[in-house]
Amino acid sequence: MSLHRGDLARWNRVSLGLGGCVWGVIAFASLFGWIRLNDLGIVLLLVLFVITPLTVPLVLCKKDGRFFLRLSALVLFFQPLAALLGSVAFFLDAGPLAAAFAAVWFVFTGLLALLGLRFVVPTTTSRFAQVLLALSYTTVFFTMLVAGAYALGVAMGAWTITISQMIAIHGLENALIFGFCGLLGWRIRTSQESQGRMRGEKCA
């Protein structure tokens, strides 16, 4: 796979187009009862086939070093395959085989997380905003671990945490820490940027 950004962008558009078509066929077949898939499954497959390829290019940066460029090419190239294999788990009964297919998508999202490690908390002069943003960004990793533990327990037929425990931990932390703290931190950062631009215009 070429590391040229143009080639990566074209491959991403192909992935997005094919993914949209695959998801459309699945949603259409589910609508008419040709396949068994609940509404949540359809939404999650939209994430695999459409939303993820829409967001992957956002982690690319012109100033990336060679390691991150190669990792970006790897992620972009294997995204359609990871989505296809990961989607198979939705059509299998809970068990080791379904867990194995789901693990493919788990590895892919791990590579995406590795790409995201090069972004530090957004720069801001407010220590309070930095703390809020850091809390927001780190919390999502813990909440996803909880969700992953629940999904793995269901797939393997082994008890890990109950659905009520997962919802309580995952939902509350995402709403109060990831969502509220993150939005408040971004609001403070945006307000500072606006004030900085206004001071600059006055000085000019």
Exposure on the CB side of residue 18, measured as CA atoms within 13 A: 11
State which amino acid sits at residue 22. V
pLDDT given for residue 28 in this prediction: 93
Query: 84-101: per-residue pLDDT in tens?
Result: 999 998 888 878 888 888
d(CA 40, CA 174): 19
| In the chain, % of residues over pLDDT 70 | 81
Provide φ and ψ at 103, rounded to 5°: -65, -30
Cα 50 from chain centroid? 12
pLDDT of residue 130: 83
Residues 147-198 pLDDT 10s = 777 777 766 777 677 777 777 777 777 777 877 888 888 788 777 767 766 6
How many CB atoms within 10 Å of residue 24?
13
Q: How much of the chain, in percent, has pLDDT values that exceed 90?
A: 11
H or E stretch at 90: none
pLDDT value for 71: 78
92: left (phi over 0), alpha (psi -120 to 50) or beta: beta
pLDDT of 121 above 70 = no
Nearest residue to 122 via CA among 189, 75, 175: 189
Q: Cα Rg for the chain, rounded, in angstroms? A: 20
- Closest C-alpha among 29, 32, 75, 24 to residue 49: 24
What's the rounded Cα separation, in Å, for the pair 135 and 115?
A: 19
Question: For residue 203, what pLDDT is reported?
Answer: 57
Whether the CB-CB separation of 104 and 40 falls below 8 Å is answered with no
What number is the average pLDDT over the span 120-143? 77
pLDDT of residue 60: 64
HSE-CB at 104 with a 13 A cutoff on CA atoms is 19
Q: Is the pLDDT of residue 74 over 70?
A: yes
60 close to 37: Cβ distance less than 8 angstroms: no
Instruction: Please report the pLDDT score of residue 21 as a whole number.
Output: 95
Q: Is the pLDDT of residue 17 over 70?
A: yes
Average pLDDT over residues 57-84: 77
The continuous run of DSSP H or E covering 94 comes out as none
pLDDT of residue 117: 65
